[in-house]
Amino acid sequence: MFRVNVATGLVEPARQVPSPNQDQRPDPDDISLLVIHGISLPPGEFGGGWVDALFCNTLDVTAHPYFRGLAGLRVSSHLLIDRAGGLTQYVPLHRRAWHAGVSSWRGRERCNDFAVGVELEGTDSTPYTEPQYRVLAGLTRALLAAYPRLLPDAIVGHCDIAPGRKTDPGPAFDWNAYRRALSPES
């Protein structure tokens, strides 16, 4: 279903929307963490292209009162899965996306250095969709196959690497459904 081109860092068949909010990883071969995020702009609203605009530094901060607080913010993620299961890639996987912020996993700081960030369009309290779980599971299987340092026990939520600061993907994310979808029988 999904193919990761390790040389280019691109996922097929993702829609490509390049973000300027990226840079060189300290070790491009050290992809050893998968971080699952939740995002909606404005909060609780889906669609509209606002996430693309945020990650590409083209968000019109006058379009919604919430956006004013995002002025000047420079963030990105490697990938986004929308509510219908559409996959968009912003940053090649061998590059560092700016998704985790101040973070730590198993004693390692700066998770952006070694993590792939996947955003799910949603909120902490809105159930994610079956197409999102299906696409996330297929994508995860492709990532695990492409990057030998990435292991199933290193798949976490943003809340796990930035506790007290971040809560996503939140209680609405069904980790059991995701893990079931990851199984080869799915």
Annotated active-site positions, please? 119
Question: At a CB cut-off of 8 Å and minimum separation 6, what does 31 contact?
Answer: 93, 94, 114, 115, 116, 143, 147, 149, 150
Strand partners, 38: 120
- Exposed e or buried b for every residue in 132-149, given b needs 16+ CB within 10 A? bbbbbbbbbbbbbebbee
